[in-house]
Amino acid sequence: MDIVLLGSGNVATHLGKGLKGAGHHIVQVYSRNKAYASALASLLKADTIDNITAIRQDADLYILAVTDEAIPPLAEELSPAITGIVVHCSGATPLAVLHHFSRYGVIYPPQSISKTVEADLSKIPFGIEGNDTSTSQYLLELMQKISSLSFLCSSQQRLALHIAAVFANNFSNALFQISHDILKQHELPFDLLKPIIAETAQKIQNNQPKDVQTGPAKRGDQQTIRKHLDFISENSNWVKIYQQLTEEITIQNR
């Protein structure tokens, strides 16, 4: 299969490497930043493209691995004469943004991916959606050869998965930073929390999260909650976050 990668960032890098490793041919890597395109193209033995008009129109698959904001204008710039499948990799962008192509879809990995860190794609689930049954099945079979965890999903399910991933990953990471800052203010290393973070992540592999919840909110320990709020009272944002999450845990455990 001949594939054109549009984008040179995290997802483009790992998808390109994964698809090439599966025996496919990455023929072009496009980016407005020629240096970025060149770096990835060199890795994938592909041609470097920084002019949208130089994109081949006879490839089998076009992957728009760019930011959500860049997908609509990039899709509009591509020739509607393209006969291959055009996909984007966003969790929140509608499928319909690609409607002017004859075959189109989505390959969405609900995973935090960095091009500087090796990723085992076989352990990443890919949400697959196509504009018709045959396209969906084609994309599913393509990605299941890279990850058996790949699955079909609707646009609504994909958006739900994206939102859930933000809560589970981005928001929890922001909470880790708050924990880091509290400890740093009191001359304690963040390493002290790494065992409990790892234990919590391990527990939810085989349990529903609320079933392994612990802490003062779970116990209804108002005295400890008040002590905590008083301790962080100089940071009003932390107080609001603490109160909101305490209320959420209380509701979950009624």
The predicted model gives 49-54 an average pLDDT of 93
Distance CA 229, CA 247 (A): 13
- In this structure, what token pair is assigned to residue 201? 């992540």
CA distances from 59 to 28, 130, 208, 220, 226 (A): 9, 18, 44, 60, 62
| pLDDT at residue 116 greater than cutoff 80 | no
Cα–Cα nearest to 60, from 15, 103, 121, 6: 103
Q: What is the pLDDT of residues 180-219, one digit of tens each?
A: 999 999 999 999 999 999 999 999 999 999 999 999 999 9
Q: What pTM value is reported for the model?
A: 0.89
Q: Please name each of the domains of the chain with its CATH number.
A: 2-153 (3.40.50.720), 158-252 (1.10.1040.20)
Query: Predicted confidence band at 114 (pLDDT cuts at 50, 70, 90)?
Result: confident
The set of residues, in sequence order, having a beta carbon less than 8 Å from that of 55 and lying 6+ positions away, is 4, 6, 28, 30, 49, 62, 78, 79
Q: What is the pLDDT of residues 146-166, one digit of tens each?
A: 999 999 999 999 999 999 999
Please name the helix (run of DSSP H) or strand (run of DSSP E) that holds residue 117, with its range, or none. none
Buried b (16+ CB within 10 A) or exposed e, 196-212: eeeeeeeeeeeeeeeee
- In this structure, what token pair is assigned to residue 104? 């189109």
CA distances from 161 to 13, 57, 153, 202, 226 (A): 22, 32, 10, 21, 35
The predicted model gives 241-252 an average pLDDT of 96
